[in-house]
Structure 1
Amino acid sequence: MASIKDVAAEAGVSVATVSRVLNDHPSVSPEARARVLAAVETLGYRPNAVARSLRTDQTRTLGLVISDVMNPYFTELARAVEEEARALGYSVIFGNADERPDLQDHHVRTLLDRRIDGLLVSPTDGGSPLMLDAVRAGTPMVFVDRWIPGVDVPVVRADGRRAIRDLVSHLHGLGHSRLAIIAGPAATTTGRERVEAFRDALRAYDLRLPEDHIGQGDFQAESGRRATERFLDLPEPPEAVFAADNLMALGALDAIRARGMRVPDDIALAAFDDIPWFTHTDPPITAVAQPTGELGRAAVRALVDRIEGRAPRSVTLPARLVVRRSCGEPSPVRRSEP
């Protein structure tokens, strides 16, 4: 692999001149710049990114710690982050917290040790001293999807309250009055917010949410299955179940089918976080969809603004209800050919 000295020899200039050309310094003559660039092309020279970062105190690298890489929502989010970062001249290093605070902190610590320029995090809980210390130390940081209340960090998220109200209105209009929810972890902002929004929406129709109609989940499929089994064992099971996450919805679907029951004939099912799989289930699942790609791109732009000295702003985008056929909706009318 060619070195900067090889480039200098090929171009007939000093190493310092090559360095100035590579760093776009204006003091180099057009003739010398042309010779250096021609030598770089001939030798296939690539600057050492690590050495450059030591000089500029920047690595052009962002860190992203997501809650669960197995969750299709976070997979799509990570892809959007990587694409937007690349378009802005940054690389991304990923860490999967697997919904574990200890693993989250391990990745945050590792990324900080690697001298990333900024950090995107979807916090697994609200009490990480390591992240709070990083914020106080001035590390550029943006929370995406979830956040830590009271911490002065820009947040890029979707507001699902309107879409959840639309869902409850939809269920009520279909004749469902006994509704249940499989909630996410209470330690996460999204876990708490979705339960509160669901409860508030029910009040608008004078519907109650009894404690035995709240299943505690952890955003994993197995917790959705267990919560649904408990619902189905009640003397008067719910008529509709709202899973506050896509994986918990799939677990709920497994539990319903294991009892020999059918959706929506025996029980309705809806989910938060739409995924492509939901169009292929039988029946297709009604879901609240977040603008996942837009969230990822907006989070990168906010973080780069912070890194490059501009004032970033928090961003809140609306979620929307996608109606399919898992709640007893009428099947689409097929028009016969003329």
Structure 2
Amino acid sequence: MASIKDVAAEAGVSVATVSRVLNDHPSVSADARTRVLAAVEALGYRPNAVARSLRTDQTRTLGLVISDVLNPYFTHLARSVEEEARALGYSVIIGNADERPDLQDHHVRTLLDRRIDGLLVSPTDGGSPLMLDAARSGTPMVFVDRWIAGVDVPVVRSDGRTAVHDLVAHLHGLGHRRLAIIAGPAATTTGRERVEAFRQALAAYGLPLPDSHIGQGDFQAESGRRAMERFLDLAEPPEAVFAADNLMALGALDAVRVRGLRVPDDIALAAFDDIPWFVHTDPPITAIAQPTGELGRAAVRALVDRIEGRPPESVTLPARLVARRSCGEPASAEPRALRKPPVLQEATASTEPSPATNRSQS
């Protein structure tokens, strides 16, 4: 394997000049830079990343801790993070928390020990001491999708409240009046936000949300199955069920089919977090789609801004309703913008995360 001395000899310059070129130092002539880069290419030289990190105090590596790698939403998010990081000259190490705070802390600790330059996290809970210490100690950090209230860290997320209202308006327009929700964990911001948005949207239409129509889930399929089974056992089951993530929706769909029932003939079903194979289920599932790829890219850009000394910004992107046929829509159903009652618009304005500067994009 070629060494830095071999590159210097090939280019006819000093080792110090090679080092300056590799570190993009401005005090190198164009001719010397061209010769060094040509020598690097010809010899197949690869700099020692560990040694470079000791000299520069940077590893050009980002950490990403996602909530559940089996959830297609987070798989897509991780891919977009890796692609954007690579484009900006960074590598990514990924840790899967599996919706467990203890695993989340394990990955955060390991990544910090490996001297990553910055950390992207989708928190699984309200904030462990380790997570809070890392955020408050100055570690460059960005929350993506979920966040921890009161922590001064940029947040990159979608506006789920508006999309949930669009869904309730859609269901109301289809004639559904008894609505239920399979909620995510109350310890997560997205779990709480989606329930509250659903409750407020129902209230805007004069519809109740009794406790019996709130199923507690954990963003995984089995909890969706259990919640739907409980709904179906009610003396008067709901007419439509909103699962607050895609895996819980799939579990709920299984529960309906095990009973020998059909969606939407016997019960309507909608989901948060659209996934590619929802169009292939029978019937195709109506869902709220987040701009997952752009969320991942925006999160990386915000983190790199923070690492490189530029002021980072929080970003909120719009989610949208994709109407298919799982709620009783006609076969020709298309997504459409729906009017929002003023009461929900007012509530939405007060629930934006406060960390850093918030920039909404559309």
User: When the two structures are superposed, what TM-score results if normalisation uses the length of structure 1?
Assistant: 0.95
- What is the CA–CA distance in structure 2 between the aligned matches of 1:168 and 1:21, rounded to whole Å? 59
* Secondary structure, counterpart of 1:314 in structure 2: strand
Task: Name the amino acid aligned to 2:91.
Answer: S
Indicate yes or no: 2:185 matched with 1:189. no
**1:159: which partner in 2?**
159
- What is the CA–CA distance in structure 1 between the aligned matches of 2:94 and 2:169, rounded to whole Å? 39
* Secondary structure, counterpart of 1:120 in structure 2: strand
**1:81: which partner in 2?**
81
1:264-302 Cα offsets, whole Å, 9 max, x none, are: 000000001111111000000011111111111111111
- What is the CA–CA distance in structure 2 between the aligned matches of 1:212 and 1:54, rounded to whole Å? 58
Relative to 1, partners in 2 of residues 1:313 and 1:33: Cα closer, same or farther, differing over 3 Å?
closer
**1:231: which partner in 2?**
231
**1:57: which partner in 2?**
57
1:89: how far off? 1.1
Unpaired runs of at least 5, structure 2 = 334-362
Relative to 1, partners in 2 of residues 1:12 and 1:260: Cα closer, same or farther, differing over 3 Å?
same
Relative to 1, partners in 2 of residues 1:243 and 1:17: Cα closer, same or farther, differing over 3 Å?
same
**2:143: which partner in 1?**
143
Relative to 1, partners in 2 of residues 1:255 and 1:12: Cα closer, same or farther, differing over 3 Å?
same
Task: Name the amino acid aligned to 1:7.
Answer: V
**2:265: which partner in 1?**
265
User: When the two structures are superposed, what TM-score results if normalisation uses the length of structure 2?
Assistant: 0.89
Q: How many residue pairs get matched?
A: 333
User: Equivalent residues in 2 for 1:90-169 (5 A)?
Assistant: 90-169=90-169
* Secondary structure, counterpart of 1:53 in structure 2: helix
**1:309: which partner in 2?**
309
* Secondary structure, counterpart of 2:304 in structure 1: helix
* Secondary structure, counterpart of 1:257 in structure 2: helix
1:170-222 Cα offsets, whole Å, 9 max, x none, are: 11111111111000000000000000000000001111111011000000000
* Percent of aligned positions that are identical: 89
- What is the CA–CA distance in structure 1 between the aligned matches of 2:30 and 2:229, rounded to whole Å? 75
* Secondary structure, counterpart of 1:315 in structure 2: strand
1:216-256 Cα offsets, whole Å, 9 max, x none, are: 00000000000000000011111111000000000000000
1:6-41 Cα offsets, whole Å, 9 max, x none, are: 223334443223222322334445554444333323
* Secondary structure, counterpart of 2:81 in structure 1: helix
Unpaired runs of at least 5, structure 1 = 334-338
**1:2: which partner in 2?**
2
Task: Name the amino acid aligned to 2:321.
Answer: L
- What is the CA–CA distance in structure 1 between the aligned matches of 2:72 and 2:108, rounded to whole Å? 22
- What is the CA–CA distance in structure 2 between the aligned matches of 1:297 and 1:31, rounded to whole Å? 36
- What is the CA–CA distance in structure 1 between the aligned matches of 2:146 and 2:136, rounded to whole Å? 19
* Secondary structure, counterpart of 2:196 in structure 1: helix
Q: Which has the larger radius of gyration?
A: 1
- What is the CA–CA distance in structure 1 between the aligned matches of 2:207 and 2:15, rounded to whole Å? 76
* Secondary structure, counterpart of 1:139 in structure 2: coil
- What is the CA–CA distance in structure 1 between the aligned matches of 2:26 and 2:154, rounded to whole Å? 36
1:55: how far off? 1.0
Task: Name the amino acid aligned to 2:121.
Answer: V
